[in-house]
Amino acid sequence: MSKENKKQMSVVKKMMIALVGGLVVGLIFMFIRSSLLDSGNEATWNLINKIFFQDITAEDGTGALGLLYIIGQLFMRGLQAAIVPLVLVSLSLAMCSISSSTKLGRIAGRTVLGFICFYIVGAFCGGVVAYLMKSAGLFNVNLPAEAVTDAATIEAFNPLATIVTAVPSNITEVFSSNNSILAVVVVAIVIGLCLQALGEKGEPLKKVFESVSEVVNMYLTFLINKVGPVAIFCLVSRTFAIYGTEYLAPAAAYIVGAMITLFILVVTLYPIGIWLTTRLNPIKFLKKIAKVGVFGFSVNSSAATLPLNTRTNLDELGCSQEITSFVLPTGMTINMNGTTVMHMFAVTFIATSAGIDVTPANLVVVAFLSICAAMGCPAIPIAGTTLIVTILSGMGWTSDACMIAYALVVAINRPVEMALLPLNVIGDAATNVIVNAKEKELNKEVYNS
């Protein structure tokens, strides 16, 4: 594990270097652009723009190279290509694990109910703070006029239509587009439950899904570890070179707002939840589980945190072996409420940056889509960031302006991804304590020691 952690940290360092490098290069080109345009040398800037930054798919990009644009788009499209298989296999296998034991049927029900409750409260808190920040103008970014026009003309829709479109009439059509991810989620849930009900007859397909999951995870790990730093450099430098300093303050507001909200939820949401449902001392829980949160923040992996989380739950929180062995692995698979909190901020930031007026009704739909997507989110780097596209697609917010803002989020989101991990892993432990207490299997002497 030490080698893996070193490799993980090396990737983090590469991404941070790429981020800083992209900022520096972008700011240098922004200064060059400003100087050239002020001195009347617009032709020189146009040449530089065509070589490095021009969107080669635009009408005026036919004679451009757009080197940084090409690299950034290859990375973004590579991420998007994995969305459908990622959601399908991850959530199908998660549903298999939930219903794997009839003996734990009641425990499974309470576990899932606990996760969903924390999801809803987290999404509500994240949505409220994000909406207040948006209303205060902290997410305002000046995008090009044509991009804002594209965003403003996105067709409105009735949020209740989401219920109808969630059940697909053509499965192959759903799998062929990133615009029907909610339908993919429904199909994945049905497949997972059917596979479990079939038992041994469903094992061949389950093994295929497990293999596909390994392939997708390998692909995303390679894409993020090897291509990610270069792509981040290109995305950030191009963003700042073209659109300027107006991105700095909104980006900083997004990062700081999301990280502070995530931290506050860690120290309030779970202790309050434990006290309300069990009347146990929440301070004891916080003191004992703090190291799990710190470890999760450091390694940025729910899977890597599972052994420490398990030992802490058994040895220090007084949870039973039987319940813990079900709740924690299940939580590692489907309890990603920190990801949902991040989604509330990210989608609000992206849509506002693209000129879309985000309403409370929109945020309710965003929360629903995010919870569905996050429950199938695998424990790999920036998987939650990748799934932002699924939320944007579900809302119909996929204009060029939205993708520009999303590219910025991909580039700057590493600190937020690290901050959401403690919310995920501590949420697993909190749910485990609550389920143990309700099942009267919690050793209160150990918990209070």
So where are the chain's domains? Answer: 2-448
The Cα–Cα gap between 79 and 82 comes to 6
- Nearest residue to 406 via CA among 419, 421, 387: 387
Q: What is the pLDDT of residue 4?
A: 46
The Cα–Cα gap between 33 and 44 comes to 9
The Cα–Cα gap between 236 and 411 comes to 6
Q: What is the pLDDT of residue 299?
A: 61
Q: What is the pLDDT of residue 80?
A: 73
Long-range contacts of 171-177 (CB under 8 A, 24+ apart): 175/84, 175/88
Q: CA dist 260 to 24, 135, 267, 375, 440, Å?
A: 26, 18, 11, 23, 35
Name the pTM for this structure.
0.65
Q: What is the pLDDT of residue 373?
A: 76
Q: How is residue 167 annotated by DSSP?
A: S
The two three-digit tokens of residue 233, written as one number: 């450099």
Give 10-residue mean pLDDT values along the chain (449 residues).
Answer: 48 72 84 82 86 82 84 80 77 65 70 90 93 85 47 44 75 76 77 83 89 83 78 78 62 85 92 91 89 75 76 87 78 83 92 86 89 68 72 81 78 77 91 90 86
- Nearest residue to 421 via CA among 311, 328, 299, 314: 299
The Cα–Cα gap between 115 and 94 comes to 14
The two three-digit tokens of residue 142, written as one number: 């000046």
Q: How is residue 58 annotated by DSSP?
A: S
Which residue has 């389950």 as its token pair? 206
Topology adopted by domain 2-448: Proton glutamate symport protein (1.10.3860)
The Cα–Cα gap between 300 and 207 comes to 27
Q: CA dist 390 to 155, 182, 383, Å?
A: 18, 8, 11
Q: What is the pLDDT of residue 432?
A: 92
Q: CA dist 405 to 139, 202, 368, Å?
A: 11, 42, 22
The Cα–Cα gap between 178 and 391 comes to 10
Q: How is residue 154 annotated by DSSP?
A: P
